[in-house]
Amino acid sequence: MCDGSHKGNTFTAMNYTADVMHDKWFCACKHSGTKPMCDGSHKKL
C-alpha cells in the first residue's frame, strides 16, 4: 500500500506478490540484501 511518502528521496516502491501463505517479514531498516524481505541485516547496525 503505497502512500507516496517515498517521492522526493532515493527510495522506490516495490511490488510484492506472496507465493505461499505463511508469515513474511518485510525489511524496514533498508539494509537487507534480500529486499523487500528482511534478512536480519538490522542486527549488524
pLDDT at 42: 93
pLDDT tens digit string along 1-45? 677 777 787 877 778 888 888 888 899 888 999 988 999 999 998
**Distance from the Cα of residue 4 to its chain's centroid:** 15
Q: Phi and psi for 27 in degrees, rounded to 5?
A: -70, 130
pLDDT at 19: 86
Please give the model's pTM, rounded to 2 decimal places: 0.58
Q: Which of 37, 16, 33, 40 is nearest to 25 (CA)?
A: 37
pLDDT at 1: 65
**Eight-state DSSP code of residue 21:** S
